[in-house]
Amino acid sequence: MATKQKDTRTARVTVKDLARDLGMSVSTVSRAFYPDAIVAEKTRDAVLKRAAELGYRPNPFAQSLITKKTQIVGMVVSDLTNPFYPEVMTHLTAKLQEAGMNVMLAAANEPEKTDEAVDLLLSYQPDLVIVLAVTLSSHAQEKCENAGAPCIFFNRLSANGLGFGVSCDNEEGGRRVADFLIDSGHKNLVYVSAFPGASTNVERQNGFCRRAVERGLEAPQIIEAGYFTYEAGYSAGLKMADIPGPIDGVFCANDIVAIGFIEGVQEGLGLSVPEDLSVVGFDNITMAGWPSHRLTTIAQPLEEMMQATVELSRELARERSLAPRINRLAPGELVQRKTTMPRSPAKETPHAEC
Amino acid sequence: MATKQKDTRTARVTVKDLARDLGMSVSTVSRAFYPDAIVAEKTRDAVLKRAAELGYRPNPFAQSLITKKTQIVGMVVSDLTNPFYPEVMTHLTAKLQEAGMNVMLAAANEPEKTDEAVDLLLSYQPDLVIVLAVTLSSHAQEKCENAGAPCIFFNRLSANGLGFGVSCDNEEGGRRVADFLIDSGHKNLVYVSAFPGASTNVERQNGFCRRAVERGLEAPQIIEAGYFTYEAGYSAGLKMADIPGPIDGVFCANDIVAIGFIEGVQEGLGLSVPEDLSVVGFDNITMAGWPSHRLTTIAQPLEEMMQATVELSRELARERSLAPRINRLAPGELVQRKTTMPRSPAKETPHAEC
DNA sequence: CTGAAAGCGCTTACAG
DNA sequence: CTGAAAGCGCTTACAG
């Protein structure tokens, strides 16, 4: 009883079984599954047909032992508090699966453990790694690359500037926000910065601040939220109390920060958005369109970014030693909702205390 | 040039390399990695030490070809629109990785493709599958089980009642909501139902409605939202217009539905929450605590649920043929926020039209 | 176009 | 306690 339990599961069918069934050699059967391999068309059809009937699938472990390709894509995620990522994650996964690749996750609750998680991931020899986390130590990145798994950074660049990247033109996005606010009469701007080490944050800030100065405004003041989270945005909102001078326009590093910021400013400081100040985000997450937020924001070209990532993954799965490249997509449109309003140029700045 | 590219990556070290380096046989080296295997303690230490130095890790593919265990946990997710899941997903993944298991994802954008995704997943022979999706066809479930991968249903039961399950006592949760509303003077109740096929939905509804009747109220009316999404909740909110009689208390199948419902009712019908009606959710997702929502809700015992799932996974990774069991945890507390208020018993129901 | 053989990196009876 | 050998399920030169 304890030694041998009845095992109801159907034993997996192997090449051998299939070969015997078809009266062919194992080699021939195997070749049928590789489009580039030389087999008689008739033979291939017969094999594929019977394989489907018997539910045969090549064992990917045995396969990769030889081919050194695993069809596994590693995906490094950190905190998924930002609703931008879950969506990306599932859609990317679905698309990758359609392309025959499988996604293996590396997640860590504490940032320091990310490296460990990546180690474990690497023992499965992913063909490549997609980084959806805000942070990945360059050490971990090197490990991946040494293990033969190039890294694709989604929505940001790697810390060392190496590796593959897919993101939108965040500087241009920042400039668009500046133009939009200035065109609608805003004069005193603030940028709410999130994670300072993230290229995304830096680029948006640069585009925004430089354009403001180019157009003759004072350089926007900076509030450091520190992270890409609701809570960080909320605290940043409270910090508005310390900002000298009247402020009429705020650009937050992304939507979730903007949403937190607005609630902080309303709850904590009793200000009204957009009456007292306009707030703009970045990403256009679904929630930004909800009646409770109606956030004015820059859309990300998400579909294109994911598409580009999948294409790149296919290439890398085939040929690991591609030269790293950065894929920059045009940012999406500015979606105007209810957290911004025009400032009449004649009107005095309404709230001197903010 | 085209034939052989310079490969900078360090070749992976194998048992052979390690054995040669140590002057031992491959068998001995291999045994050192299995706590139950018989090796001299001294030998084992030496092997493990040198392995760490050389960065050796047994190749899991080669390993599983023999052991038939992969240490892979399949995770089936569908839409992650409900913020409840991303959190669960990353935390579960992190915990599983700490236990030495790796998570492979199956995701599909269209529900019909879930089966395909599961097929692909199964070719990697996961030791078990955790279902985080609202839907998984019993056909797919059978496939998993036939492939030797038992399924753990998180936060719900499987459609056929078989398989493993970890969830809280949703009926008890429903009863608590009914008691809370009735104790605070509510008399005319509605339940907003989400996906009708989900055990979670059915149980919450049963607990709520039965308790209401037990306590002498009319059976709560049902609004069918149909899904566990914001949008479904929003539409359900609009449907309040069609509900006959005055309503003062609403229990929604979960938080994201409740949030949508409230916005629908406010935006579409011009009602105020909680002044015109009280609304209660279920889950206590982070967002429920934001100033923009302040949703009264039942907390899920998330930490315990995840812990139980990880334990179960460890057991199943060791011994696949455990007898299926359902793990029911006590629901968390009712968290009272700003979407509910007491109804004075004397007061007339204020809005006859709703 | 097909088949027999070697080998990927491991584990595990089987001897010793 | 250790080692030599077989074998997991595949792919791929190498012959034919």
Protein contacts of strand C with Cβ less than 7 Å away? A 24-28, 31, 38-43, 62, 65-66; B 12, 14-16, 26-27, 30-31, 33-34, 37, 56-59, 62-63, 65-67
Q: Which of A9, A58, A80 is nearest residue B147 as measured by Cβ atoms? A: A9
Q: What is the pLDDT of residue A8?
A: 43
Minimum Cα–Cα distance from A287: chain B residue: B230
Q: What is the structure's pLDDT at A10?
A: 58
B220 shares a domain with B141: no
Residue A275 touches chain B, beta carbons under 8 Å? no
Distance CA B344, CA B335 (A): 21
The nucleotide minimizing the C1' distance to residue B40's CA is D1
Those residues whose C-beta lies under 8 Å from the C-beta of residue A133, and which sit 6 or more positions away, are A76, A77, A78, A114
Digit-coded pLDDT (tens) for B238-284:
999 999 989 999 999 999 999 999 999 999 999 999 999 999 999 99
Alpha-helical segments (H) within chain B = 15-22, 26-32, 41-54, 60-67, 84-98, 114-122, 138-146, 170-183, 199-214, 230-239, 255-269, 302-318
C-alpha radius of gyration, chain A, whole number: 26
- Confidence bin at B76 (pLDDT 50/70/90): very high
* pLDDT value at B3 more than 60: no
Interaxial angle between packed helices A199-214 and A170-183, expressed in degrees from 0 to 180 and rounded to the nearest 10? 40
C-alpha R_g of chain B:
26
Domain check: are A180 and A286 in the same one? yes
Those residues whose C-beta lies under 8 Å from the C-beta of residue B278, and which sit 6 or more positions away, are B181, B184, B186, B248, B249, B250, B296, B339, B340, B341, B343
Task: Report the distance from CA of residue B22 to the C1' of nucleotide C16 in Å, as an integer.
Answer: 22
Strands B296-299, B334-335: pairing is antiparallel
Same domain (yes/no): B306, B289: no
User: Of how many residues is chain B composed?
Assistant: 354
A153 DSSP β-pair partners: A131, A165
Cis, peptide link before residue B111, omega less than 30° from 0: no
If you search the block for the tokens 């990306």, which residue do you land on? A88
The answer to whether A114 and A108 are in contact (CB under 8 A) is yes
Alpha-carbon distance of B69 to B102, in angstroms, equals 12
If asked whether residues B175 and B242 sit together in one domain, one would say: yes
Beta strands in A195-301 (DSSP E): 221-224, 249-252, 278-283, 296-299
**For the domain that residue B126 is a member of, what is the CATH number?**
3.40.50.2300
Shortest-distance nucleotide from A44 CA to C1': C1
How many whole angstroms separate alpha carbon B205 and alpha carbon A110? 37
C-alpha to C-alpha distance for B84 and A80, rounded to whole angstroms: 11
Q: Which nucleotides of C are covered by protein (CB under 7 A)?
A: 1-5, 7-13
| Sign of the four-CA dihedral B74, B80, B82, B88 | positive
Q: What is the pLDDT of residue B114?
A: 84
Q: Do residues B188 and B245 touch, judged by C-beta distance below 8 A?
A: yes
Can you tell me which residue has the tokens 């942070």? A135
CA max distance for chain B: 90
With beta carbons less than 8 A apart as the criterion, state whether A149 and A129 touch.
yes
Same domain, B234 and B314: no
- C-alpha B325/C-alpha A204 separation (Å) is 51
Total residues found in chain A within this entry: 354
Comparing C-alpha atoms, which of A133, A82, A94, A125 is closest to residue A306?
A94
Q: Which candidate in B7, B69, B97 is best for mutational testing of the A interface (most A CBs within 10 A)? A: B97
Higher-pLDDT residue of B343, B7: B343
- Label the pairing between strands B334-335 and B189-193: unpaired
Q: Is A337 a domain residue?
A: no
Task: Tell me whether residue B212 is in a domain.
Answer: yes
Best probe of the A interface among B113, B123, B257, B279, by most A CBs < 10 A, is B123
pLDDT of residue B10: 59
Report yes or no: A4 at the B interface, CB cutoff 8 Å. Answer: no
pLDDT in tens, B275-312: 999 999 999 999 999 999 999 999 999 999 999 999 99
Distance CA A157, CA A170 (A): 11
Q: Which residue is nearest to nucleotide C11 (CA to C1')?
A: B66
Question: Which B residues 236-255 touch A at CB under 8 Å?
Answer: none
Q: Residue A54: inside a domain, yes or no?
A: yes
Cβ B335 vs Cβ B299: under 8 Å: yes
Whether the Cβ atoms of residue A226 and residue A219 lie closer than 8 Å to each other: no
**Among chain A residues, CA nearest to B322:** A5
On strand D, nucleotides with any atom < 7 Å from a protein CB are 1-5, 7-13
Closest CA to A75 of A98, A49, A105, A118: A105
Per the structure, the count of domains in chain B is: 3
Say yes or no to pLDDT of B126 above 80. yes
Per-residue pLDDT tens over the stretch B127-166: 999 999 887 778 888 889 888 899 999 998 887 777 899 9
B60 touches chain A (CB under 8 A): yes
User: How deeply is A243 buried, as exposed, middle or buried, from its count of CB atoms within 10 A (0-12, 13-18, 19+)?
Assistant: middle
For the record, the structure tokens of B61 come out as 């593919």
User: In terms of domains, do A158 and A122 share one?
Assistant: yes
Residue-wise pLDDT tens digits, A89-122: 999 999 999 888 999 999 887 777 888 889 889 9
Inside any domain, residue A349? no
Token pair for A232: 């960080």
Of B325, B263, B327, B334, nearest to B293 by C-alpha is B263
Q: Report pLDDT digits (tens) over B161-182.
A: 778 999 999 999 999 999 999 9
Give B23 CA → D1 C1' in Å: 16
| Residue B210 sits in the same domain as residue B253 | yes
The C-alpha atoms of residue B136 and residue B155 are separated, in whole angstroms, by 13
Q: Does any domain span residue B103?
A: yes
- Around Cβ B50, how many Cβ atoms within 10 Å? 16
Name the residue of chain A whose CA is nearest to B88's CA.
A80
| A111 and A179 inside one domain | no
| B178 plus B295 within the same structural domain | yes
* Nearest DNA or RNA nucleotide to B12 (CA to C1'): C9
Containing structural domain, residue A321: 72-168+302-329
For chains A and B, CB pairs below 8 A equal 167
User: Which residues of chain A, if any, have pLDDT below 70?
Assistant: 1-10, 79, 345-354
* Same domain flag for A310 and A240: no
Q: Which among B329, B241, B320, B252 has a CA at the least distance from the CA of B70?
A: B320
Question: Is the CB of B77 inside 8 Å of chain A's CB atoms?
Answer: yes
Dihedral (C-alpha) A30, A36, A38, A39: value to the nearest 10 degrees? Answer: 60
Q: Is residue B65 less than 8 Å (CB to CB) from chain A?
A: yes
- Residue A23 sits in a domain whose CATH number is 1.10.260
Shared-domain flag, residues B143 and B175: no
pLDDT at B186: 97
User: What's the CA gap between A352 and A243, in Å, rounded?
Assistant: 11
d(CA B249, CA B274): 9
- Count of Cβ atoms closer than 10 Å to residue B313 Cβ: 23
Q: What is the pLDDT of residue B12?
A: 82
Q: How confident is the model over A220-268, as pLDDT tens digits?
A: 999 999 999 999 999 999 999 999 889 999 999 999 999 999 999 999 9
Distance between the alpha carbon (CA) of A189 and the C1' atom of C3, Å = 76
From chain B residues 284-303, the ones with a CB under 8 A of any chain A CB are 286, 290-293
Query: Is residue B276 in a domain?
Result: yes
DSSP A149: -
β-sheet with A296-299: strand ranges across: A221-224, A189-193, A249-252, A278-283, A296-299, A334-335
Query: Does residue B224 share a domain with residue B104?
Result: no
Q: Which of residues 93-122 of B touch A (CB under 8 A)?
A: 93-95, 97-98, 100, 102-109, 113, 116-117, 119-121
Contacts of A353 (CB under 8 A, 6+ apart): none
Q: Residue B15 has what pLDDT?
A: 94
- As beta bridge partners, residue A335 has A297
Residue B67 lies in a domain: no
A42, with CB counted inside 10 A (0-12, 13-18, 19+), is exposed
